[in-house]
Structure 1
């Protein structure tokens, strides 16, 4: 295979670094002979773990080295070497339990990495080497071996333990007795024979991130065993050669797990999971591509372009200054040690890793984007979140003057295939988390995400370039889970989710969730709320403009006798924050515990966040409070459990009180991110965006300054001359003589949708194949929405 310039440079660097790693581990230089096709790749695998050569005097590398050394040395000191031990560490006992050996192997990997990395207190120490060899034998005898059958969580047996075990074997390979190596490889071959199937359920084909993880595991055991067939299995697993590409990672799917052409990523059949499983897939596939490059088992599938395109389609819109948006992290939001900054840094690292082997046209853009993310996030610097290998790639980009940092993206993104919407401007972003009978409202299980009840009910995430920690700073253990921004909720007490084994999802019964995008800049979205375990029903819509988000609710009805609320804002003010809250020009109390009923409020401003306008007034409620919680209340998972240490954060909350058992209640509010108090007052008076309708038939907004009319029709109807013969989302922009129309059917219930425009059109400039236009004084568009899975159809007219 012909290597690109970047691949050649990457491989040359890997080769030099691998030599350093081998010397640190005491390996003989003669071990890597030119006749051995496996040792050079094993050296490359070791370099992927240690980062290879670096300058320990560099402050960034010194800090990363200290972090590695501190953790590895602590676990080394705590390692139980007594004859009668039942575990390697007291908190991971007994080692026979899958959750315990599943967590023990990663700790051994950390120790082995420190042993193989120059400059740590454990580097090359014979005692450490011997202790690692002994610990591996103990775990093999006591917990993880080929004679056992799977119990408990399959993941520990088929991904968690084997991956860490193979990594340790790679690092220790020159010191690992052949008998031990063969036993460990045989164990992994027993539980991960190929990337294609779930071993404990052989009829279940692996998909997405799980397939990627297994492909890497099979490749590493193939290298350790010198087994070319295993290496071919690993390579072919990415493309799913076994099943003729059915579960290939290099394809756009139209249902189930994987990347969609619109940028969506789904795992577990119905969960929006770009930020965790999607990132793992990107990282694992990128690692395997780099590992096998230039060998007889190199990945040559031309469809790998799908993975390259996913960086900009799937990941870039969801990374805000290197922070991964929580709307696509699923149950991972409940993990104390994996907050949004951590998962964001992992995604950036995976993108930079993939860039090493990608064509320059892709790689140059990715490096520019990564440089921007890293430089802008000064609140939680990237260098504090990654290890030496990822830090080395980042420093190379930061030090390259030819790489200009890219700006934040500016646009509107509808991920119709995973019920997510993202609206981005240069200094802020708004993400919308919806759900339907197609996409889960939440995933919980194995003790994770115990309070995720309302995260998919229209939760609105507002990101600000001046405060990238708003959701990462202990938001989830301290926020009131019944008052998530953007949601309309029945205030009944809920039981914890996911307390049993295994994971599960909840999909509501509504069909409508999603919307349309106009000129990649403006958008409208809607969701029918059919509450879980309640009679609550509501029709909710959002309209995304240049500097504002208009939120409407109508038909809010329930008959359970409980209060129903719609939450406008519930802002994390951090541990000591006390920003000014001004309502209708009057400064409100900054005292914790203060609350007020503001029935006639027309606008409000929260210092440091922005403004809020209430076109139809109250009944608005406001509250300042300090809330204390623990991560353990959200997550009791075997390997992700949160701490029991209380944390406290302050919140400013605004909500509409619809009262008990409302009948056709409604609300309207406008978010003005980063607006000043004066700008908020001016907006509330001039109303540059007007609510034209807000009922159970149509919800609509007009922004005359932009020539924009946007509506979601719940049924056939009309507003301001714009009409449809059925449900759908329509945006029309008229500037001068040019007209752009965008139409979508987020409910996916229609075959065709007829749209009538309120002004004359004389010609069609361009129209999608699915759009037919009859020009004239009252032009009519016929849009074939059937089978389009809620995606947008457009036409340009004059």
Structure 2
């Protein structure tokens, strides 16, 4: 199957990636389904390690590791492989032309000077890995070239002497010393192992042993246990060191590091977390103790752990921990809800949103490749489902083809699935997902998806540092990501360098000027002071979420709620109060119209001007429609404003990182913006709007008139909506109160759906402050059909549900009644 399709908006070579993705893609292709390259060992050896164990138990695994880098044998005339090969060759040849290995040189490349600096030698090793991969891959201009090999050996010696050796002490960013440089160095040694002089290899292994002695501890802070993606990365580094050193004890360290044998499983990657880093049973993934990081660190963990499992399979050091099922289950629980047609939702990418060379499509493609890698060694009950999902993700992303985003190893695996008629592509995942342990919500319908990025004293509003994510101030304040299945580039096409960072969709903001974040070394997070962030899910289809906004550096306070009802999202705000004298705004929409977009905007049936720079107050507007996006309904009117503008910015303004810094090339995009102006220092202001993704103008106008979903409360006590057609009442109670006959004795989120065949109820405590939540229903209940063991029901004419919410970490408690 030809994977090539026109790229409509994204540009840039796929080989030019961020540090985390450069590391990730180095292991993006496990060996099980590809034949070996002639420079990387025999197929029999790699596919059956025991077959040659009597002669050398390590070389078959090293050959397998080499194929994880090169992809093994492939048809260079195949159009997809030819393109990937050309991309590798182009990048490698360019770096080869520029390399300087002369005696006395202070750096291999002029732009990575001096090589004594950790950021410089860290990136230099990554370039050498690319050169070594091109040398070991058939079909490039560097393949098997003796001059290139000699240059690589000289380059490794120069970096060892000048930059990375056991005599040095760590400085700057620890990551380069303990993950970035050693991983690229070990990969390069695997590819060049037959030609490496023994004394050189020994020197490099001693260096890596100095900075990465085991996967368990941070070398520059020995009391700090490694967790999550960092532990997985280090386990792979230690495993490669063990293979190259032919040391069974080191290999055991690597394998046991995945399960954290040293600390009795406390930091095992195959253990569900209840706080801090790791996978959670509800599908959340957290890294750096408080950051929702499924899309980067979570993906890297999936890739590195999966790679090591594949690397050691069938050997004496195979991973046999039965708890590995946690990793398998994470594909469906953790990754599937936030992967849309192959892209990774920005709500779970943390500071990586500011990386020019690692956008949502790139991180998504990497995750897809890791899912397919894991499928190679997983039980069929998992693997068959994952391959079907991956096939659907890849085929539906016509705007940014998968083949343009990955290298040969990942491409080989994908083509095996795409060309297999027995694998039927899965449809888009639909449903409502409350990822309570990382303050994220995802609502997915057949034609669109919506994600909420919330925050609390538990989960950071943003992470910034090392020059990354300089303008991430409001990304965790209820930012609403609306994804249209027909335009997957809304956030991947130059959005972050051009969007007004003070007007992110879904946020309520104090318009004060903000200073850049994260300009110093290290990373830091902001955890706001609010406790309420999260919500409940009913019947896996409907949802309600809430967040108390306690603004950073401002007196702004607000109570925000969202209700997800089939094809509509109702957003409510109440108690909006501030006393700083500055204007407060709530952003309904700030839509990326791309470089030349000029879709028609209609307000109450009247087309609005299409010229750039147009703006107008829409005080009495009832509804609006933006072609190509959908409709907006304003049930209570309000001080609404509209704006068309063309904005120009640079990725450098968002990211000045040593190895992830963006370019200074101007990027220009057009935007259509709708917002409520609450005025300066508002007192108990409110707003209400409805998103109708994909709706036509006629549908939007009809919806505005018929109001199939009605707002029944929007104040500081309760925010609620009802849909008579669905028999649904959804409410978030900020305090004890009543609405529509539904009563709660304190703060909680409640959804009730009454149908002819029964009643379903969902209750959650997103503030995590209560012990029990008591809910009284407005209609009689005869009996309990099913209820969670935390729910007690007293049936009758006015039934009462008593829900033990203590310790449930904001998760939903459900009951089905008759």
Q: Do both proteins adopt the same fold according to a TM-score greater than 0.5, normalized to the shorter chain?
A: yes
Task: Give the 3-state SS of the residue equivalent to 1:443 in structure 2.
Answer: strand
Q: Does 1:241 align with 2:261?
A: yes
For the Cα contact (< 8 Å) 2:299–2:370, is it kept in 1?
yes
Look up the match of 1:21: 40
Q: 1:618 aligns with which of 614, 623, 638?
A: 638
Q: Are the counterparts in 1 of residues 32 and 310 from structure 2 also a CA contact under 8 Å?
A: no
Q: Does 1:377 align with 2:397?
A: yes
Do the aligned partners of 2:36 and 2:73 also contact (CA within 8 Å) in 1? yes
Does the 8 A contact of 2:774 with 2:802 survive in 1? yes
The within-5 A match list for 1:171-186 is 171-186=191-206
Contact 1:18 1:43 in 2 (8 A): no
> By how many angstroms is 1:82 displaced?
2.8
Q: How does 1:640-651 map to 2 (within 5 A)?
A: 640-651=660-671
**CA–CA separation in structure 2 for the residues paired with 1:538 and 1:415:** 22
Distance (whole Å) between structure 2 residues aligned to residue 596 and residue 369 of structure 1: 45
Asked if the contact 1:69/1:122 (under 8 Å) is kept, the reply is yes
Q: 1:7 is matched with which residue?
A: none
Match of 1:131 among 123, 143, 151: 151
Change (3 A) 1:11 1:595: closer
Structure 2: how far apart are the matches of 1:306 and 1:598?
A: 51
Match of 2:563 in 1: 543
Are the counterparts in 1 of residues 506 and 588 from structure 2 also a CA contact under 8 Å?
yes
1:456 to 470, 476, 485: 476
2:285 is the counterpart of 1:265:
yes
Is this contact kept in 1: 2:232–2:304, CA < 8 A?
Answer: yes
**Whole-angstrom distance in 1 between the partners of 2:97 and 2:37:** 28
**Contact 1:437-1:508 at 8 Å conserved across structures:** yes
SS in 2 for 1:705: coil
SS in structure 1 opposite 2:441? Answer: strand
Is 1:314 the equivalent of 2:343? no
**Match in the other structure for 1:784:** 804
Partner of 1:493: 513
**Distance (Å, rounded) in 1 between the aligned partners of 2:41 and 2:794:** 72
Task: Give 1:577-616 correspondences, 5 Å limit.
Answer: 577-616=597-636
Aligned partner of residue 709 in structure 1, secondary structure: strand
The equivalent residue for 1:477 is 497
Per-residue CA deviation, residues 186-213 of structure 1 (Å, 9 max, x unaligned), is: 0000000000000000000000000000
Cα distance in structure 1, aligned partners of 2:579 and 2:275: 36
- Partner SS for 2:778: coil
Q: Which residues of structure 1 form unaligned runs of 5+?
A: 1-9, 25-30
**8 Å CA contact 1:19, 1:43 repeated in 2:** no
Aligned to 2:124: 104
1:130 Cα deviation after fit? 0.2
Secondary structure in 2 matching 1:527: strand
How far did residue 618 of structure 1 move? 1.8
Alpha-carbon distance in 2 for matches of 1:162, 1:82: 23
Per-residue CA deviation, residues 305-326 of structure 1 (Å, 9 max, x unaligned), is 0000000000011001000000
Give the distance between the partners of 1:418 and 1:317, measured in 2 at CA. 13
Structure 1 residue 292 and structure 2 residue 309: aligned? Answer: no
Aligned residues of 2:31 and 2:68 also touching (Cα < 8 A): no
CA contact (8 A) 1:760 1:778 kept: yes
Structure 1 match to 2:323: 303
In the alignment, is the contact (CA less than 8 A) between 2:32 and 2:376 conserved in 1? Answer: no
2:361 aligned partner: 341
Q: Following the alignment from structure 1 to structure 2, what is the Cα–Cα distance between the partners of residues 618 and 136? A: 65
Provide, for residues 352-390 of structure 1, a one-character-per-residue CA deviation record: whole Å limited to 9, x for no partner: 000000000000000000000000001000000000000
Aligned residue number for residue 749 of structure 1 = 769
CA distance in 1, matches of 2:104, 2:204: 23
Which residue does the alignment assign to 1:675?
Answer: 695
Name the SS of the counterpart of 1:477 in structure 2.
helix
Kindly tell me the number of residue pairs found equivalent between the two proteins.
783
Q: Would you identify which runs of 4 or more consecutive aligned residues in structure 1 move more than 6 Å?
A: none
Retained in 1: the 8 A contact 2:299–2:367? yes
- Displacement, 1:737? 4.5
Contact 1:434 1:458 in 2 (8 A): yes
Q: Out of 559, 575, 583, which is 1:563 matched to?
A: 583
- Please list the CA deviations of residues 672-705 of structure 1 after superposition, one character each: whole Å capped at 9, or x if unmatched: 0000000000000000000000000000000111
Is the Cα–Cα contact under 8 Å of residues 18 and 44 in structure 1 kept in the other structure? no
Contact 1:767 1:794 in 2 (8 A): yes
Q: Paired residue for 1:27?
A: none
Distance 1:704 1:436 in 2: 33
TM alignment of 1:215-230, pairs within 5 A: 215-230=235-250
**Aligned match of 1:5:** none
In structure 2, C-alpha distance between the alignment counterparts of 1:713 and 1:451, rounded to whole Å: 33
Please point out which of 427, 431, 445 is paired with 2:451: 431
Match of 1:61 in 2: 81
What's the offset of the Cα at 1:12?
6.5
Match of 2:274 in 1: 254
Q: How does 1:199-218 map to 2 (within 5 A)?
A: 199-218=219-238
Residues 515-550 of structure 1: per-residue CA shift (max 9 Å, x gap):
000000000000000000000000000000101000
Structure 1 contact 432–460 (Cα < 8 Å) conserved = yes
Which residues of 2 match residues 322-401 of structure 1 at below 5 A? Answer: 322-401=342-421
User: Matched residues in 2 for 1:496 and 1:701: separation?
Assistant: 39
Q: Report SS of the residue matched to 2:36.
A: helix
Cross-structure match for 1:90? 110
Q: Which residue of 2 aligns with 1:733?
A: 753
Secondary structure at 1:489 match in 2 = strand
| CA shift for structure 1 position 85 | 1.5
- Give deviations 1:152-183, integer Å, cap 9, x for gaps: 00000000000000000000000000000000
Kindly indicate whether the alpha-carbon contact (under 8 Å) linking 1:732 and 1:741 is maintained by their aligned counterparts in 2.
Answer: yes
Q: Which residue matches 2:784?
A: 764
Using the TM superposition, give the Cα deviation of residue 11 of structure 1 relative to its aligned residue in structure 2, in angstroms.
6.5
Q: Distance in 2 between matches of 1:775 and 1:301?
A: 46
**Structure 1 counterpart of 2:675:** 655
The equivalent residue for 1:6 is none
SS at match of 1:403: coil
Once the two structures are TM-superposed, the CA of residue 19 in structure 1 deviates from its matched residue by: 4.2
2:429 paired with 1:412: no
Give the secondary structure class of the aligned counterpart of 2:381: helix
Q: Is the 8 A contact 1:552 1:669 kept in 2?
A: yes
Taking the aligned partners of 1:59 and 1:502, their CA distance within structure 2 comes to 43
Shift of 1:33: 7.6
> What is the SS of the residue equivalent to 2:432?
strand
Residues 83-112 of structure 1 deviation map (CA, whole Å, 9 limit, x = unaligned): 332100000000000000010000000000
Secondary structure of the 2:470 match is coil
Please say if residues 39 and 136 of structure 2, whose CA atoms lie closer than 8 Å, have aligned partners that are also in contact: no
Q: Name the structure 2 match of 1:552.
A: 572
* SS of residue paired to 1:368: helix
Q: Which runs of 5+ in 2 are unaligned?
A: 1-29, 44-50
Task: Provide the rounded CA distance (Å) in 1 between the counterparts of 2:736 and 2:684.
Answer: 19
Q: TM-score, normalised by structure 1?
A: 0.97
Match of 1:232 in 2: 252
**Displacement of 1:736 after TM fit?**
1.1
Question: Could you list the per-position Cα deviations for residues 472-525 of structure 1 after superposition, in whole angstroms to 9, with x for gaps in the alignment?
Answer: 001000000000000000000000000000000000000000000000000000
* CA deviation profile, 1:61-96 (whole Å, cap 9, x unmatched): 000000000000000000012333210000000000
Alpha-carbon distance in structure 2 between the residues aligned to 1:312 and 1:84? 53
Q: Identify which of 217, 237, 252 aligns with 1:197.
A: 217
Give the superposition deviation at 1:35: 1.2
Structure 1 distance, partners of 2:488, 2:240, is 38
